[in-house]
């Protein structure tokens, strides 16, 4: 399953994270389907993810990504429910 958390302000833009609870290839296939470049994939931090701005987040949700709160995503990370490094 693909998940996106809430948009937050980072500098001058609003961003969120897109993650998966399955194989990392699932995340790459989904990202490609909605028009993200593989070079935008983030391997730093606590989990593998793509950063999305507002319009791309909306596109991800329309394509089937599940919306979760930032707190829910954090809990998913703690519980090992999201694919990590």
- Each residue of 15-24: pLDDT tens digit? 999 999 999 9
Q: What is the largest CA-CA distance in the chain?
A: 32
Alpha-helix runs per DSSP H in the chain: 24-33, 54-62, 70-78
Query: Is residue 78 over pLDDT 90?
Result: no
Tokens linked to 16: 């969120």
Pick the more confident residue, 49 or 47: 49
End-to-end CA distance of the chain: 17
pLDDT score recorded for residue 82? 87
pTM of this structure = 0.91
Mean pLDDT of the chain: 92
Residue 10: how many other CB atoms lie within 10 Å: 11
């Amino acid at each position: 399953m693909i998940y996106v958390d809430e948009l937050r302000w980072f500098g001058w833009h609003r961003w969120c994270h897109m993650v998966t609870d399955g194989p990392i290839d699932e995340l790459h296939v989904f990202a490609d389907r909605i028009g993200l470049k593989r070079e935008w994939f983030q391997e730093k931090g606590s989990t593998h993810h793509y950063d999305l701005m507002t319009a791309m987040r909306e596109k991800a949700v329309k394509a089937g990504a599940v919306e979760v709160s930032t707190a829910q995503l954090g809990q998913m990370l703690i519980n090992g429910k999201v694919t990590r490094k």
